[in-house]
Structures are given as structure tokens and as C-alpha cells.
A and B are shown apart, each in its own frame.
Chain A
Amino acid sequence: GAGVSQSPSNKVTEKGKDVELRCDPISGHTALYWYRQSLGQGLEFLIYFQGNSAPDKSGLPSDRFSAERTGGSVSTLTIQRTQQEDSAVYLCASSLEGGRTSYEQYFGPGTRLTVT
């Protein structure tokens, strides 16, 4: 079946502009995650969505970052007023939801964001 898809694959933007990154999870996966991968910080958790529950935003680095998930499926990560330190690969993952059971997360190919 289809895996997690993300778009765009690459995004170059000027400092101060807003960007939107999209994630389409695996069908049937109710849990969706955003992570960020950068050379200095490694892989960092950003935000988690589960069904219709309020998202866990505890990993978002600043209030310039926000995300939404519509209809329990597609998610959009928005970064406002981008800064150079936002340059990274943004990864989306999805999994089955098991409450206190952590199922494996399947990752998309990522969006490489470069802020100039």
C-alpha cells in the first residue's frame, strides 16, 4: 500500500516568509507525528496528533510553528516568519494508535527546508 507522502520534497524560502509543509499519512493510521532533523540537533519531536484529540504541541520550538490535521488525515505544518535556524528536514510519520502501546512509526521522505 501507499506509504507516508510529503510535499514539497524541497523548499527554499527567504527569511521572514511563511511556509507550509504537507503530510499525507498511511490510510488507517490515526496517529500522526512531525519531527525535525538537523545536523546540530539530530531528530527532534515537534507535534503529535491522535484522532480528534487536541494535539500534543510540546515539541514545537516557538510560537512561529503551528500544525493542523484536517479530517483526521492530511496534516499541514506551518512556519511563520522563517528564520535561518529553521533550515532542516521536516519528517512526518504515522502509526496505529494503541494508547499505552507504542506501535512503529512509518516515516515519509521528508521536506528539506532551506531558509536563505
Chain B
Amino acid sequence: AQKVTQAQTEISVVEKEDVTLDCVYETRDTTYYLFWYKQPPSGELVFLIRRNSFDEQNEISGRYSWNFQKSTSSFNFTITASQVVDSAVYFCALSEAGGGNNRLAFGKGNQVVVIP
């Protein structure tokens, strides 16, 4: 069974500080995909990144970066120099390729509050 754990429920940071969101996953599948989504106060889930299990290369997109480590089953997300617009709930999700339906299993989310 697929499972995603995001231990930190709410994280508050002062603007311009960095914030790292931890994501730990469990799966028996050897081929799987990991995702991060952002849910701002407006409520709509916004896709941020997708990574497959065979690609452990870290990725940077602007102020966002992701660190994928299969050895620790983690896919952590860092926001550098946070801004007020980064205030949102961030969800990590897992999809097993062998599951037959590519459904997303979500973590409980990290509420990030950026204080100006």
C-alpha cells in the first residue's frame, strides 16, 4: 500500500527565510512517481513538480528546489528566500505505476505561513 507522511503540520517563517518541507513515502512498487502540489488560500491545487523513481537528480526551479533520496524514501521541498505569496498548504503525493490507476496518495500537507 502506498503511504505519504508529512510530519510538520504548520510551519511559520519570516519573509526571506528558507523553509524545507519533509516528505517520506512508502511503496512496494519499484516504479513510482512523486509529486508536490501547492494549495493557496483560494483552494485550487496547483501542480509544482513530478519525479519518477528512476531519476534521483535534484531539481531547482527558481526559488523552489527538491531533494529526492531513494535511500531514505524522502522527497523534500525547499523554498528559498520565502515570500508572503508562498503562504499555502503544500502536499506531497505518490503514484504507483503498478497500481493500475495512477491514483495519487497524498500526505496530510504542510501549512506554510510566511510572516512579512
Chain A positions within 8 Å of B, measured between CB atoms, are 31, 33, 35, 42-43, 45, 48, 50, 56, 58-59, 89, 91, 93, 95, 97-98, 100-110
Contact = CB atoms under 8 A, between A and B. Distances in A.
Contacts of B37: 107
A35 B95 CA distance: 14
B44 A110 contact: yes
Given A31-B102, A42-B108, A105-B104, A100 B44 contact: no
B53 to A, nearest CB: 10
Nearest to B105: A45
Nearest to B108: A42
B33 interface: yes
Grouping DSSP codes into helix (H, G, I), strand (E, B) and loop, the A interface class, with mixed when no group exceeds half, is: strand
B109 A42 contact: yes
A107 B97 contact: no
A58 B109 CA distance: 23
26 contacts: A33-B103, A33-B104, A35-B104, A42-B106, A42-B108, A43-B106, A45-B103, A48-B101, A48-B102, A48-B103, A56-B101, A95-B102, A100-B97, A101-B97, A102-B32, A102-B50, A102-B52, A102-B102, A103-B50, A104-B35, A104-B47, A105-B104, A107-B37, A107-B47, A109-B42, A109-B43
